[in-house]
Amino acid sequence: MLKIVEKERSEKLIRQMDEAGCVFKFVVLSPDPQDEVDESYHRQGLVVLHEELMNSAMQWHRNLIKDKKYEDYPEPFISWELESAIATPLNLDEIRSLTLTDSIDVFERLALYASFVKPPYRARFKKGVEAKDVFNEWCDVLGLNELDEVSVLNWVEGFNTELHVKNDTSSVEPWSDYFYPGLEWWGVWCLTIWNPKRRTLSALIASTTD
C-alpha cells in the first residue's frame, strides 16, 4: 500500500512551480515498510498520480462552473490506460543526466532541467528565487539525489512529437490523452523514481503546448 508523504515540502514546491509557470505535476509516496518495491509498485504510483491529476482537474472545474456562463461546461476526464504503458528502466548515466543543469535544450533527451525552466512561455520565478535552487530542491524531494541507489522508470520512451517523428515502427502510442498537448511539439514526461534509502516512490508527469 502506498501513502502520500513529503506533503509540506511538496505543497511549497507545487506553489512555487505553478506560480512560475512550470508544467510538471508530481507526487511523493511511501510503501509499507515490509513491502518489496517492483514494477507493479511503480504502476501503483502512477495510479495515485492520476488520482491527484483528476482531483486538480475537478477542483478547476468546480471553480469554473461558479460562473453561470460556464455552468454547463462538461466535467474533465483524463484517460489512463496503464495496462498499455511500457516501463523503460534508465541506466545510471541516464539517471545522472536528469539532475544536470547545464543544458536548456528542451528537445535533448532526458534534459529534465531544460523542461523545468522552459515550458512554452518559460518559467518565471519571483525576484530573488533562483530556478536552479528550486529545481535542486525538487530533485531532492523526488529522491533523485542518491544517484547510485535510485532506480527510475521512463513511461513515455518512444513517444514522438510532431516535430520529431521517426519514420520507423519503433514509435509508441500514448496511453493517456494527457500527453496529446505535449506531443504537438514541446514534449512529454512521465517518470517513477524509487529511492530505497528513503523508501520513497515518486511519480512526475508533464505535457503542454502553447
Half-sphere exposure (Cβ direction) of 170: Cα atoms closer than 13 Å: 7
Enter the pTM of the model. 0.92
How many domains does the structure of the chain reveal? 1
Average pLDDT for residues 148-173, to the nearest whole number?
76
In this predicted structure, the answer to whether residue 198 has a pLDDT above a threshold of 90 is yes
Average pLDDT for residues 173-180, to the nearest whole number?
95
Asked whether the beta carbons of 200 and 149 are under 8 A apart, the reply is no
Asked whether the beta carbons of 190 and 78 are under 8 A apart, the reply is no
Span 65-116, pLDDT tens digits: 998 888 888 898 999 999 999 999 999 999 999 999 987 888 888 999 999 9
C-alpha cell at position 62? 468546480
Average pLDDT for residues 138-157, to the nearest whole number?
92
Question: What distance in Å separates the CA atoms of residue 39 and residue 1, rounded to the nearest whole number?
Answer: 14
More confident residue, 200 or 104: 200
Asked whether the beta carbons of 25 and 205 are under 8 A apart, the reply is yes
Which candidate, 77, 105, 110, places its Cα nearest to that of 176?
A: 77
- At 131 the pLDDT is 93
Distances (CA, A) of 54 to 27, 46, 81, 114, 183: 13, 12, 14, 26, 20
Span 9-64, pLDDT tens digits: 999 999 999 999 999 999 999 999 889 999 999 999 999 999 999 999 999 889 98
Angle (deg, nearest 10), helices 131-142 and 7-20: 140
Average pLDDT, the chain: 91
Domain that holds residue 41: 2-207
